[in-house]
Structure 1
Amino acid sequence: MAYEKTLRLDEQICFALYAATNAVTRAYRPLLAEIQLTYPQYLVMMVLWQDRRSTSRSIAERLQLSANAVSPLLDRLEDAGFIRRLRDRRDRRVVHIALTEQGSALEAAASKAQHAVLCRTGLDPDAHHRLRDDLAALAVHMTAEPEVID
């Protein structure tokens, strides 16, 4: 790959990702506020809607966050009545997270929010899947051991 020494903001993939992430998150914000979730809380809830229960450690790993970043999210979700925490009887360090009825009931409204944001992207289903797959592949490449560039 050719290395270009001139930095131009509009040519940077990091800026394109940053701007797109901000735009998508802003699109979600008012829709999620209607169901009393922030975007990071929504991500936690998506893990639970998909898996039905998990551990705090598994949620952190799945979202590629530290346990310290997930803990306050779980605190607020528990305070809102959307989840409950249960300590493992055999290993007290393990905290199981389960949806409450109220948390399960949010899934339908969250699905509508997700659909509304997807429609705003203007992407057809094939383009959406390609973009998602390309971004997932980019994340894998970026977390792999870096190549040495001379």
Structure 2
Amino acid sequence: MLWIKALHIVFVASWFAGLFYLPRIFVNLALVAPGSVAERARLLLMARKLLRFTTLLSVPALALGAWLWLGYGIGRGPGNGWMHAKLAVVLLVIGYHHACGVLLRKLADGSSRRSPRWLRCFNEVPVLLLLAAVLLAVVKPF
């Protein structure tokens, strides 16, 4: 079980690293001058590759977490309300990941109307989600 926990933590940390950096690329895309075709193409390529890699990392992170939850019963039974809250946070992270994909498509086709300031705020969301997930898993407040 400890190997599974360790791998789960490694994949989750890697997944979040991608979710931290991807929106930063979005900010840079929003700041590209209108005539900078090469810079825009390079940033879009970076964002697409990072989204693909981050998606690949999310699969084992979620699978190992499910294995720990269902296979070993971690967080099941009375007094484990923290696990329900953590699963809600995980669903929010999955939704954020999906929103990154949608936003990337809109930035690529030029239909996004998001300002660099909004994108900077969007960039902070995964920090809050990671903080919530770690606090719930470690402190187990309820």
Higher strand share: 1
Q: Which has the higher contact order (CA 8 A, sep 6+)?
A: 2
TM-score for both structures, normalised by structure 1:
0.28
Give the TM-score, by structure 2 length: 0.29
Relative to its length, the structure with more helix (as a share) is 2
